[in-house]
């Protein structure tokens, strides 16, 4: 959803360093940096407030009205963030100040919609491109772009050029790039078991026994 604006109060961070950042995180605060047209400003923001701002209908593309220590608001967007691999909490955030009348570039997620005909025929649907790069005004950047895969048969594909691009949004990637395709499932053939060399008899058939030599036999002419 384009056009989403969210207020995000932040405070300037005066103490820097790893130890201070760990102390802030224990208090539920996220250290970060606000980049703008002037020098970067070290900031801190509540993890709960930041998470709430990034889970609105605008998602990670929402325009954040950032007021440092209650001062003048700055329009900013999420530039980057880091998460704790175990807890999933946000551990650092970078915000970028923007002008609402100047376009920006952004990576927008691609969502597949519908059930491909090819999957009903026994094929497998694979998505190979998950995002696309666009240029638009900050308030016009969509949260995601949908592509309909319901008509894709086995051997077919949908491409970036098949995306419905809203007015005011410019596509920056090659329109021929494949987003998703339907292929036949890969068959794994088991190797044939060959008969062992020198196999002499069929199963269940006993080998013929050799006749024993006669013991104590008489020579011809002996009684």
How many H helices and E strands in the chain?
Answer: 3, 13
Structure confidence at residue 222 (pLDDT)? 45
Question: Which residues lie below 8 Å from residue 78, measured CB to CB, with a gap of 6+?
Answer: 54, 60, 61, 62, 64, 93, 94, 95, 96
pLDDT tens readout for residues 109-155: 999 999 999 999 999 999 999 999 999 999 999 999 999 999 999 99
Sort 163 into a burial class: Cβ within 10 Å, 0-12 / 13-18 / 19+. Answer: buried
CATH number at residue 176: 2.170.120.20
Q: Where are the alpha helices (DSSP H) in 9-63?
A: 18-26, 47-53
Q: Among the three residues 57, 76, 98, which one is the final residue of a domain in this structure?
A: 98
- Which has more pLDDT, 73 or 162? 162
Q: What Å distances lie between residue 188 and 123, 181, 185, 191, CA to CA?
A: 15, 21, 10, 10
pLDDT at 142: 92
pLDDT value, residue 219? 45
pLDDT above 60 (res 167): yes
Per DSSP, the residues of 159-221 read EGGGS-PPTT-EE-S-TTSEEEEEEPPPP-PPPP-PPPTT--S-TTPPPPPPPPPPSSPPPTT
At 74, the pLDDT band (50, 70, 90 cuts) reads: confident
Buried b (16+ CB within 10 A) or exposed e, 144-153: ebebebeebe
State the average pLDDT over residues 5-28. 89
13 vs 157: CA distance, rounded Å:
50
The residue from 33, 66, 98 where one domain ends is 98
- Mark whether 59 and 85 lie in a shared domain: yes
Average pLDDT over residues 68-90: 88
Same structural domain, 112 and 142:
yes
210 in any annotated domain: no
Asked whether the predicted pLDDT for residue 204 surpasses 90, the reply is: no
As given in the structure block, the two tokens for residue 12 are 């300037």
Does the pLDDT at position 165 exceed 90?
A: yes
d(CA 143, CA 175): 20
Instruction: Choose among 61, 176, 57: nearest CA to 108.
Output: 61
Per-residue pLDDT, 120: 92
Question: What average pLDDT is seen over the chain?
Answer: 85
- The whole-number pLDDT of residue 179 equals 97
Half-sphere exposure of 78 (CA within 13 A, CB side): 23
Question: Domain limits at 178?
Answer: 105-183
> pLDDT higher for 191 or 205?
191
Tokens (6 digits) for 94: 């970078």
98, 131, 148: which is the final residue of a domain?
Answer: 98
Tell me the mean pLDDT in the region 186-192: 63
Looking at the domain assignment, is residue 190 inside a domain?
Answer: no
| Residue 176 scores a pLDDT above 90 | yes
More confident call, 195 vs 67: 67
């Amino acid at each position: 959803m384009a056009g989403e604006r969210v207020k995000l109060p932040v405070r300037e961070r005066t103490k820097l360093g790893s130890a201070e950042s760990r102390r802030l995180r224990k208090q539920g605060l996220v250290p970060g940096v606000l980049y703008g047209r002037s020098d970067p400003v070290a900031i801190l923001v509540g993890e709960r407030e930041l998470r709430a701002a990034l889970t609105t209908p605008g998602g990670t593309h929402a325009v954040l009205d950032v007021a440092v220590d209650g001062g003048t608001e700055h329009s900013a967007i999420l530039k980057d963030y880091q998460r704790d691999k175990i807890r999933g909490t946000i551990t650092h955030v970078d915000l970028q100040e923007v002008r609402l009348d100047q376009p920006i570039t952004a990576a927008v997620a691609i969502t597949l919609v519908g059930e491909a005909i090819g999957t009903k025929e026994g094929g497998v649907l694979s998505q190979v491109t998950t995002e696309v790069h666009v240029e638009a005004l900050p308030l016009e950047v969509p949260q995601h772009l949908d592509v309909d895969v319901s008509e894709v048969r086995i051997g077919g594909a949908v491409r970036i050029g098949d995306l419905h691009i809203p007015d005011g949004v410019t596509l920056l990637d090659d329109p021929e790039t494949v987003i998703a395709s339907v292929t036949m499932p890969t068959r794994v053939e088991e190797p044939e078991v060959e008969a062992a060399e020198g196999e002499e008899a069929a199963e269940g058939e006993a080998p013929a026994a050799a006749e024993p030599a006669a013991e104590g036999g008489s020579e011809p002419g002996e009684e």
